């Protein structure tokens, strides 16, 4: 009789303990995902801040490329105004593509590429690119853990009971990736 009571008490304690640990784990991952998203924000902002300098630098040499300048300014405005994760991702992709275009244009002007401040800008931007990518990887790996926990038994019960919901992955849709690949069958 006594032993049975003790056994029940132990089981209850273990279940409670597990509940606490599992719940805390979910909260931790949710916070880490938010932290990951703000880390992406910081890097996107940093890249957006570098863009006016880039435009100024290239403008002095490539005067006929108004469309490229417009694109990059639009992408920048889009990034600064983005609220939701998918808007940010879209702006991220647009910014990446249009900045790439500007650098491609700059390739044609050796004098520009020789300017020290331009070289520095180029390093800065490519570093920011790496940092955006790094924060993206962190966010997505946390989201993957978070979502998997919510979808697997037994954590899924807690996730359901306490109203956790899966988070969206951060996928950038680069124009070059979206276009269908043309296959020549002739």
Partner 1 sequence: MTLQQQIRSARMRTLVVLVLFVVLMAVLVAAIYVAFGAGYGLIMGMVAVGYGIFGYIASGSIVAAASGAHKINKEDAPELFRTVENAAIAAGLSKTPDVYIIDDPAPNAFAAGRTPDKAYIAATTGILQLLDKRELEGVMAHEMAHVRNRDVRLMTLAAVLVGVISMVADMLLWSMVFSGNRNSNDNNPLGAILAIVAIVLAPIGAALLQMSLSRKREYLADATAAELTGDPEGLARALYKLGVDQRPLTKVNRATAHMWIESPLRDNKGMRSSLAGMFDTHPPLQERIDRLQQMGGFTLPPIPKGAADA
Q: What is the maximal distance between C-alpha atoms in the chain?
A: 91
Query: Interface residues with partner 1 (CB under 8 A)?
Result: 32, 35-36, 39, 43, 123, 127, 130-131, 133-135, 137-138, 141-142
CB of 71 or CB of 150, closer to partner 1: 150
Helix intervals (H) in 60-115: 66-81, 85-106, 110-114
**Tally of CB atoms within 10 A around 85:** 17
Smallest separation, CB 99 to partner 1 (Å): 18
Smallest separation, CB 1 to partner 1 (Å): 32
Q: What is the chain's alpha carbon radius of gyration, rounded to the nearest angstrom?
A: 24
Smallest separation, CB 29 to partner 1 (Å): 11
Selection from 37, 162, 144, 28 nearest residue 92 by Cα: 37
Smallest separation, CB 131 to partner 1 (Å): 6
Q: Give the residue carrying structure tokens 């991952």.
A: 29
Selection from 127, 129, 106 nearest residue 118 by Cα: 106
Smallest separation, CB 108 to partner 1 (Å): 26
**Tally of CB atoms within 10 A around 155:** 18
Contact 36, 132 (CB under 8 A): no
Q: Cα–chain-centroid distance for residue 73?
A: 20
CB of 37 or CB of 65, closer to partner 1: 37
Distance separating alpha carbons of residues 170 and 154, to the nearest angstrom = 27
CB of 86 or CB of 148, closer to partner 1: 148
- Read off φ and ψ for residue 97, nearest 5 degrees: -65, -45
Smallest separation, CB 164 to partner 1 (Å): 19
């Amino acid at each position: 009789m006594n032993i049975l009571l003790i056994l029940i008490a132990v089981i209850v304690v273990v279940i409670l303990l597990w509940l606490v640990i599992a719940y805390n784990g979910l909260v931790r991952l949710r916070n880490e995902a938010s932290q990951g998203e703000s880390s992406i924000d910081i890097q996107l902002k940093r890249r957006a801040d570098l863009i006016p300098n880039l435009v100024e630098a290239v403008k002095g040499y490539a005067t006929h490329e108004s469309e490229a300048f417009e694109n990059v300014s639009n992408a920048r405005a889009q990034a600064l105004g983005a609220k939701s994760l998918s808007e940010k991702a879209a702006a991220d992709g647009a910014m990446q593509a249009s900045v790439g275009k500007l650098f491609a244009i700059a390739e044609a002007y050796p004098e520009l590429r020789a300017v020290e401040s331009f070289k520095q800008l180029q390093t800065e931007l490519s570093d920011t690119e790496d940092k955006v990518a790094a924060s993206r990887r962190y966010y997505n790996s946390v989201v993957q853990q978070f979502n998997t926990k919510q979808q697997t038994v037994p954590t899924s019960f807690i996730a359901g009971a306490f109203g956790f919901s899966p988070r969206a992955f951060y996928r950038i849709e680069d124009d070059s990736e979206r276009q269908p690949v043309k296959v020549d069958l002739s």
